[in-house]
Structure 1
Amino acid sequence: MHRAFPLTSYDTAALLLFAALWAFYGAAVGGHVFRRSSLNVAMNRQRRIWIETMARRELRMIDTSIMSGLQTGTGFFASTSLFALGGCFALIGQTQQVLSVLSEIPFIHAPERGVFEFKIIGLCCLFAYSFFKFAWSYRLFNYCSILFGAVPPAMEAEHDRRAFEAAINRAARINILAGKHFNAGLRGIFFSIGYLGWFISPLIFALSSLLVVVVLLRRQFFSEARRTILSDQAGPGSGESIRPESQ
């Protein structure tokens, strides 16, 4: 007879640590934990600079090409998340075979069927979260393309400066918001790597989750990419946090 709640206290503690690390990383990257600006924050500023530069160009084919590339990459990750989600559901149907394989691997204790299926469902939730984030990001990039077209030519800016700047601001904010949801989808993909440790043991789950967060924080706050992006920025450019409201 299965227990109503199949997880052990170690499993529960590791799962709570995973959730805490997820929340901590999201807050840190969003600029709510450290005063040091993250790579995402620095790129948000570059997105705004790009839109402002685009508005001054007479020919904007290069900007539409960039937008097309962003949409293509987002669509790829959305499809990948959907395939991974389908694979997880297929794995649930092969639970007994997978448990038989796990029982033959040294140093791995095969869990009960209910526990294993619970873990698979959690992995499904991660990939579903990523899919919805990528899909919404793709839609926002579509909206941003339309807003690009709505930005009037620079030569008409003098006639209605307020409308010109408002059009730039709309396009920039939607572009930043699309990037925010894309990064949230990537977070789900990255954290799913740490989540896989749970299929070995709660301790490995905790350690793999910590490792993933350490790697991601290093890339966000101490990577060469961040130093390069901020190398020529001064004053507000090196620490300004641009965080549009979330949908």
Structure 2
Amino acid sequence: MADYRRKWMIQMITRQPRIFDAAILDSLRQGTAFFGSACLIAIGGGLAAMSNAERLRGVAQDLTLDAPAIIWEVKILLALVLITNAFLKFIWSNRLFGYCGVIMASVPNEIDAPATLPRARKAGELNIAAARAFNRGLRGVYFALGALGWLLGPIGLIVTTAVTVFILLRREFASASRLVIMQSEE
């Protein structure tokens, strides 16, 4: 995808008007904002659960998963740390997409202008950095969900972590969409 992002910014140079490019970038920013907002809600829910650990402990006793309240707080804290990291990645991604948009807007309309190609390349690299931060945020969400398996005990944590790793490996390295992206264009 990094190569496609670079090619996109080079193609943008000749596209008039550049509304199409702005719309795509806006869509990417909306995705980061959505996931950032969702992470904030999850952080709030996790903090609420931690502040009411005794009630959570009561539910756990009904499920025969009895443990001291501090243990439940630590287990929730792990998921909160991971989701907070994801939140920070989404916010950074949103900011980088914003920088990309500003640089895209500064690309001269004259194809032969000295600043045209260098600025388009800068926009491409910022777009790639933003996408990288977004992907890291998504991975953080995946692992935060996996960390919730610890609420079921150590076996639950091992199973959910293994499932999370399997899902990530499959989606990032063995998915049908990756095969399509990697196909030769000849």
Shared fold per TM-score greater than 0.5: yes
- Counterpart of 2:29 (choices 61, 71, 80) is 71
What 5-or-longer segments of structure 2 have no aligned partner?
none
Give the conservation status (yes or no) of the 8 Å contact 2:13–2:107: yes
Question: Is the Cα contact below 8 Å between 2:79 and 2:145 reproduced in 1?
Answer: no
Contact 2:12 2:18 in 1 (8 A): yes
2:57 and 2:66 in contact (8 A); partners too: yes
**CA distance, structure 2, for counterparts of residue 80 and residue 159 of structure 1:** 43
Deviations 1:137-157 (A, max 9, x none): 11111111101111112xx23
CA distance in 2 between counterparts of 1:159 and 1:98 reads: 64
State the partner residue of 1:100.
58
**Structure 1 residue ranges without an equivalent (≥5):** 1-42, 235-247
Tell me the percent identity. Answer: 34
**Aligned residue for 1:180?**
132
1:152 aligns to what? 108
Shifted more, 170-179 versus 55-64: the winner is 55-64
Alignment-mate amino acid for residue 175 of structure 1: N
Aligned mates of 2:185, 2:60 — CA distance in 1: 52
Secondary structure in 1 aligned to 2:108?
A: coil
Counterpart position of 1:195: 147
* Residues 1:58 and 2:10 aligned together: no
- Give a deviation string over 1:79-102, Cα, whole Å, max 9, x none: 000010011110011111111111
Shift of 1:159: 4.3
Partner residue, 2:183: 231
Report how many residues are paired. Answer: 186
Return the offset for 1:219. Answer: 1.0
Residue aligned with 1:158, SS: coil
Secondary structure class of the residue paired with 2:66: coil
- Higher RCO (Cα < 8 Å, 6 or more apart): 1
The one-character-per-residue Cα deviations of 1:181-230 (angstroms, maximum 9, x if unpaired) are: 11111111111121111011111201210111111111111110001111
TM-score, with structure 1 as normaliser = 0.72
2:112 maps to a residue whose letter is E
Aligned structure 1 segments of 4 or more residues deviating by more than 6 angstroms: none
Name whichever of 52-61 and 174-183 sits farther off. 52-61
Instruction: Specify the alignment match of 1:111 in structure 2.
Output: 67
Using the alignment, how far apart are the partners of 2:133 and 2:105 within structure 1? Answer: 22
* CA distances 1:95-145 after superposition (whole Å, capped 9, x unpaired): 11111111112xx42222111111111111111111111111111111111
Matching residue's letter, 2:111? A
Q: What is aligned with 2:85? A: 129
Q: For residues 42 and 98 of structure 2, what CA distance do their matches in structure 1 show?
A: 24
TM-score when normalising by structure 2:
0.95
One-letter amino acid of the structure 2 residue matched with residue 127 of structure 1: I
